[in-house]
Structure 1
Amino acid sequence: MKQPDLTKELLILALLLVPMAYLAIIWNHLPTAIPAAASPLGSPEIRSKSDFLLLMIFLFFTNGLLYFLFRYIPAVDESQSVPKGEAVHKDYYRIRFLIHTCLAVFTCVIIFLVSQGNPFVMERWAFVGVGILITGIGLYLRRLKPNNYIGVRTPWTLQSPQIWKETHLMASNLWTSAGIVTIIAGFFLSLITGVFIFFFLSIVLAALPYIYSFRLYNKDKG
């Protein structure tokens, strides 16, 4: 497997840090009370800075989770690696740049809107945006071919093209469904409830495909 490109990794990490730095710079200038759009019942809503900080932690966590999923989880054993060329390596970084750029821009736009005092349902925008991203990743996983860079790279998927295919079909359905649920939940759940549910959901999205590939391997072995 080709070694990670240090320069590109640093650029991706910079994309993770840009929204945090932006928030830190303007934090003291944010309004204490953040006006929100009217609730479904028609009553006006007011958010505090602590609510907004929780939302930002949610977005920062999502960005960091996706970084570690693509970069480190799971580590690839060289003896089980699938030989692939330079094109796949470039696609790997292209996809990661796209994901983290979209999240960085999206997060900075929310921070800017809040700093301007514009009324909007900030958690709805955040959950919908993250849900669309998760759905897109889920749809992409469905057509992903065996490689060492992107996808559910377990020892068992790398050994068997069939296990790779079945695992990624399952992961695609799981991520796509989770993304759609996240989008819908953004219109109904409160900020705190939605954040904690997503934290739990992120563990499920990372763990279930790994466990599923292990079970498929043991099933094939009888």
Structure 2
Amino acid sequence: MRTKISWTDGVALVVLFLPLAYFIYLYPGLPQTVALHFNVKGEPDRWGNKSETWLPILMLSVVALGVGLLVRFLPLIDPKKKVQYSEGTLIKLSYGLVLFLTVLNFMIVHASQTGHFALGRGFFPVMGLFYVYLGNLFNNIKPNYFVGIRTPWTLENESVWRKTHHWGGRLWVIGGLTLAVTTFFWPKVAVFLTGTAILALAPIIYSYVCYRQIQKTV
């Protein structure tokens, strides 16, 4: 397992705290009362003192750091020592998670300045692109108990795991791109939730069907 800190780790750490630095820069110019919470349309439904915005922005930075480190060092807590075979993919996953949460944090900072949280032409397309990134990693994830499409059938049979991740990876890449483009031009919550549900449920169903087919040949 790679334990040394590389230059890419340093870049990821800097990127992670950029939203906090940006917020510090903006803070003196923010109005005393700012939007603190937003509804499903991205409109503010709770207002408060701007000092209250420090906590969620700082917490999200800390959460991003914690999630990145957890994914990165999963091999240390894996009792079966299987996840170590996907070490390179885990490193890429940790970087992707840090970048995604950092972008989300930037959106929160921007919302505190503008009073509007960009869902349809912000969060939804970004989430779709994150699905694409994850889909590209699926095919390189070896069987393990922590990351990937972990169903009773993929964990039971390595062939089912491999086929499900190959098929699911392509689905997430195509579906993620479709979702990103669709929600950018048609920013509806129902569209995003429907697309996400399909991406989540389809690989589960596929793994079951694939497992049954293999069982019939045994």
TM-score range, shorter chain: 0.5 to 0.7
Residue correspondences, number:
161
Aligned sequence identity (%)? 23
State the SS of the aligned residue for 2:184: coil
Aligned residue number for residue 199 of structure 1:
193
Asked if structure 1 preserves the Cα contact closer than 8 Å seen for 2:151 and 2:207, the reply is: yes
Residues 1:220 and 2:217 are matched in the alignment: no
How far the C-alpha of 1:152 sits from its partner, in A, is 1.4
Q: State whether structure 2 residue 130 is matched by structure 1 residue 136.
A: no
Match of 2:53 in 1: none
Q: Give the match's secondary structure for 2:205.
A: helix
TM-score by length of 2: 0.57
- Secondary structure (helix, strand or coil) at the match of 1:153 reads coil
> Partners of 1:139 and 1:177 in 2: how far apart?
10
Q: Structure 1's 83 and 218: CA in aligned 2 closer, same or farther, altered over 3 A?
A: same
For residues 89-140 of structure 1, give each alpha carbon's deviation from its aligned partner in whole angstroms, at most 9, with x where no partner exists: 8778756644443333212211222333399966323223112111000010
- Alpha carbon RMSD of aligned pairs, Å? 4.1
Which residue in the other structure is 2:175 paired with? 178
* Contact 1:137/1:175 (<8 A) preserved: yes
Give the counterpart letter for 1:104 in structure 2. L
**Larger relative contact order (Cα-Cα within 8 Å, sequence gap ≥ 6):** 1
The letter for the 2-side match of 1:204 is: I
Question: Residue 138 of structure 1 contacts residue 175 of structure 1 at CA under 8 Å; is this kept in 2?
Answer: yes
User: Matched residues in 2 for 1:118 and 1:189: separation?
Assistant: 21
Q: Which moved more, 1:128-137 or 1:87-96?
A: 87-96
Look up the match of 2:55: none
Judge conservation of contact 1:171–1:209 (CA < 8 Å) in 2: yes
The answer for the alignment partner of 1:159 in structure 2 is 156
Which deviations, in whole Å up to 9, do the C-alpha atoms of 1:53-86 show, x marking residues without a partner? 58xxxxx9xx9xxx9xxx9xxxxxxxxx994357
Q: TM-score, length-normalised on structure 1? A: 0.56
Task: State how far apart, in whole Å, the 2-side matches of 1:168 and 1:134 are.
Answer: 13
